[in-house]
Amino acid sequence: MERPIPVAPAAHYWMGGVATDLQAATTLPGLYAVGEVACTGLHGANRLASNSLMECLVFAHRLKEIELGPVPAALASDKTQPLALDLDGCSSSQLIDAIEQLRQLCWRRAGVERSAAGLRQAIGNVKADEQHLEQQALLQALLRQDPCAPRLLAESSRRDLNLLLDLHHRLLTSRLMLEACLFRGESRGGHYRSDAPAPLPQWRQHSRQQRQRGIVTRAVRD
C-alpha cells in the first residue's frame, strides 16, 4: 500500500442501556430488552467489538421461554378510527435537520472525549429543544392518544409523525445519557472525561437512572 488510510477513534457502543433482569425483563411489565439496547453488565465498563453477539444469543435464548399473554382487545380489533392532526409548522425537513443537529451535539460533547463544561452545555441545549418541542400542539395531541387504540392515518402524514416521535425520544434519551456522563466524575472503560482522566475507587459503582428520579448507585460485587 502506498497511500495512508485515515484512522480515528469513534464511540460505537454504549456500555449502559435499559436495565433488565436475567430474563431480559425491564421494570415495565411486558417490555423486554435484548442486545446492545440492554444493560446486562456482562461486559463491565468496556467491550471488544463483536462480543455483543454473546448477549444477543444468551438473552434471546432465555427470552424465548417466556409465556405470551393475550393480545389487548384494542389491538386485536380490526376497527380503526381516522386520526386528524394538524401538521402545519412541522415539516419533514425541519425534523430531519433537528435530528442531525442533535446527533452532532452528542458526538461533540459525549463522543470519545467528555468534560463537565461541555456536558452541561449540551444538557442545556437538549432541555431547551425538549421544551420547544413539547409546546407544539401536534405532539401534545399525539401524546393524548390511547397508544393501544388503532388509528387510521393518511400516508402523507406518517413520515412526519414518525420523525416527530423519533426526535421526541432521541431528545429524552440524549438528555439521560448526557446526565449520566456528567454524574460519573471519573474515567472508566469507554467513558473518558478529559477533566477527570483516571478511574477513582469511590466510583466503582453501578449507576441507575430513572426519569424524574435522579441517579442512584450500587457497589460492584466481585
Distance set, CA 176 to CA 16, 42, 102, 210, 221 (Å) = 11, 22, 13, 9, 25
Same domain, 111 and 177: yes
For residue 117, give Cα distances in angstroms to 1, 157, 182, 218.
42, 40, 9, 26
In a domain, 76, yes or no: no
Q: Identify whether 152 is part of a domain.
A: no
pLDDT tens digits, 103-121: 999 999 999 899 999 999 9
Q: What is the pTM of this model?
A: 0.84
CATH of the domain at 128: 1.20.58.100
Q: Collapsing DSSP states into helix, strand and coil, what is residue 30?
A: coil
The residue that leads in pLDDT, 153 or 191, is: 191
DSSP sequence for 90-155: --HHHHHHHHHHHHHHHHHHHSSSB-HHHHHHHHHHHHHHHHHHHT-HHHHHHHTS-TTS-EE--H
SS3 category, 189: coil
pLDDT at 118: 98
* DSSP assignments along 11-25, one per residue: ----S--EE--TTSB
167 located within any domain: yes
Q: Is residue 6 part of a domain?
A: no
Q: Does residue 100 sit in the same domain as residue 135?
A: yes
Angle ∠(188,179,214) on CA atoms, nearest 5 = 110
Do 28 and 93 belong to one domain?
no
106 and 59 in one domain? Answer: no
Does residue 151 lie within any of the structural domains?
no
Task: Supply the range of the domain harboring residue 17.
Answer: 13-66
